[in-house]
Copies of this chain bind each other. A is one copy, B any other.
């Protein structure tokens, strides 16, 4: 008899942002499958752990489906929301390629979670308070020319933006190139926010700067980059800076 597979997200950090739905799933699971650091964050006692490298997503999805086919109750564990640059798409890709119905008996569901951009935005105020675009700056699976084109069009549409995967040792120049595209469209004083390790105690850093002053060296693999629209405003208040994008948009600018 086949078991089930649930694709879950444990939120950007800690148990405070883990939904009750997913906490229950993790308790019921016999098998936890995921990138090591995410699985390690989950404190369940009985389940078997199957950890793998972060770049082997499709193999991991197939392995999880096999475990469920053999009767396992399998939680595929992402950080954040599994539907935003995470494991839900990889599981769907595996199912899409399942021409011979190997996994047809497996019940597959996805559970929503809090994504990193939302935790970062909350810390800042409401930078994503109006229309916004969400992009991964990784060019591992898509051509860089597409990333640049999307950023340019999003800037021309005056969307606020959230960038996932801004920088890594293997991708050192992409964030700088993305900022150059933004500078070709937006004013130098456009707010740019670097939110690193949000929710992770003392390692959390939230930096509010501008398109003119931002330095890619201030970002790392744990950083979520937010970019304002032309309407985005910065408020100084009690030694802290809040950033928000108003709900209204002036008629004369449109």
Interface residues of A (CB under 8 A from B): 11-12, 15-21, 57, 81-85, 88-93, 95-96, 104, 108-115, 118-119, 121-123, 125-136, 141-143, 145-146, 149-150, 153-154, 156-159, 233, 235, 237-238, 242, 244-249, 251, 254
Is the CB–CB distance between A83 and B235 below 8 Å?
Answer: no
Nearest chain B CB to A97's CB is how many angstroms away? 10
Is the CB–CB distance between B19 and A114 below 8 Å?
Answer: yes
Is the CB–CB distance between B130 and A119 below 8 Å?
Answer: no
A112-B118, A118-B115, A233-B96 given; A141·B19 CB < 8 A:
no
CA–CA, A115 to B134, complex, Å? 14
Copies of this protein chain in the complex: 2
Is the CB–CB distance between B142 and A254 below 8 Å?
Answer: yes
Select from chain B the residue with minimum beta-carbon distance to A115: B118
Residues of the B chain whose Cβ atoms lie less than 8 Å from the Cβ of A135? 131
A/B interface sample: 16 pairs, CB < 8 A: A18-B19, A83-B118, A83-B121, A83-B126, A83-B129, A89-B129, A89-B246, A89-B247, A92-B129, A93-B244, A95-B235, A112-B118, A112-B119, A142-B249, A143-B254, A146-B254
